[in-house]
Amino acid sequence: MSFHGWQTVAPAPFSQSSNSAVVCRGAIYTWQLSNGNIWMATQEVDRSLRFTNVGVLARTLGAGSAGTNTMVSFRDEYLYMVGGIPSSGVSSASVEVYRIGSDGIPVLKWLTALPLTSGNPTAFVVDDHLIVTGVGSTTVLPAAAVYSAKIGGDGSLGPWILQPSTPVGVRVNAFAQFGRNIFLIAGVDSGGVVQTGIQVGHVGPDGSLYWSRLSDLAATRRQHMSVIVDQQVLVISGLRTTGGAKIADVEVIQVDGAGDPGPGVLVAELAIPAPVASSSCVVLNDCDYSFCGTNAAGAATNVVQALRFR
């Protein structure tokens, strides 16, 4: 795998200090905090993104949400928006399920809820199971509780099943997935300590899981991003300490054939040009895109940065 450096491309049509995104049907889906608008972004020939407004969130907490929800997709057709914080500051248990049609337009199919309100959850889809970590978290307190639900062919969710808790409850962490292994990367624990640990959930065919901590980043990190490219996890930007300066550093984690991560290694030539925190980071075609979040001055940004690879 070769990387061809970052480039700053055309900005997003909105600025926001916290962002979540997911790829479905060959496009990036994200949403706007100020009004609940759902945006679809497709890749242009020059690697910039074309943003199109394709709908509005169904949930009543939509506008003004803090953006700490998590988004995942299933079978490249269904999109799940899980948890988050409404403008009232009270964590939500909401789970919205949208079906993305061939025209790219999301249509709400199901509106359900987690067992507990969750302001800062992380969600994964492994085979036909939705797995949510950090259930019961708030804006300031992480949670170690983990629940899973079986996904039906129509995108619906079965009963929630309590799974083994994560070894350390974390929030403002990054995450990645390789096969049936899911990773929670660093973040902040319940005592406010910024972590280095990479927690690995090993998911069985029946959706059951167990946890281990197999390796660490080279240094502490919070409000960072991560994506997986082939068998490498890129851990990008964020902060070293609570209230600290944004960092440009990128660490690379090599994943072995069993899906287990090695230690994080700093790669100087992959440093991001404009450091950000709480940004979205997703892979679309031959680029890793980072967009929105909080910039080095602490302001919401609409900057879009693309890292080409292959």
| pLDDT, tens digit (0-9, with 9 covering 90-100), for 43-54 | 999 999 999 999
N-term to C-term CA, the chain = 6
Q: Give the span between the Cα atoms of 113 and 95, in whole angstroms.
A: 5
Q: Give the span between the Cα atoms of 40 and 234, in whole angstroms.
A: 24
- Judge whether residue 66 has pLDDT over 50: no
Please choose, from the candidates 238, 141, 121, 243, the residue with its C-alpha nearest in 3D space to the C-alpha of residue 192: 141
Report whether 51 contacts 40 (CB < 8 A).
Answer: yes
Q: Give the span between the Cα atoms of 79 and 101, in whole angstroms.
A: 11
Report whether 131 contacts 203 (CB < 8 A).
Answer: yes
- Tell me the average pLDDT across 166-183: 95
- Tell me the average pLDDT across 7-17: 93
Residue by residue, DSSP assigns 172-203 as S-EEEEETTEEEEEEEE-TTSPEEEEEEEEEE
Domain ranges of the chain: 17-309
- Judge whether residue 62 has pLDDT over 80: no
- Judge whether residue 60 has pLDDT over 70: no
The CATH code of domain 17-309 reads 2.120.10.80
Helices (H) and strands (E) in the chain, counts: 0, 24
What is the pLDDT, as a whole number, of residue 88? 59
- Tell me the average pLDDT across 119-138: 94
Structure tokens at 292: 């929105």
What is the pLDDT, as a whole number, of residue 86? 62
- Tell me the average pLDDT across 235-259: 95
User: For residue 104, is it left (φ>0), alpha (ψ between -120 and 50) or beta?
Assistant: left
**3-state class (DSSP) for residue 242:** coil
What is the pLDDT, as a whole number, of residue 89? 65
- Tell me the average pLDDT across 270-284: 94
Residue 231 burial by Cβ neighbours in a 10 Å radius (0-12, 13-18, 19+): middle
Whose tokens are 């999301």? That residue is 106
- Tell me the average pLDDT across 259-276: 95
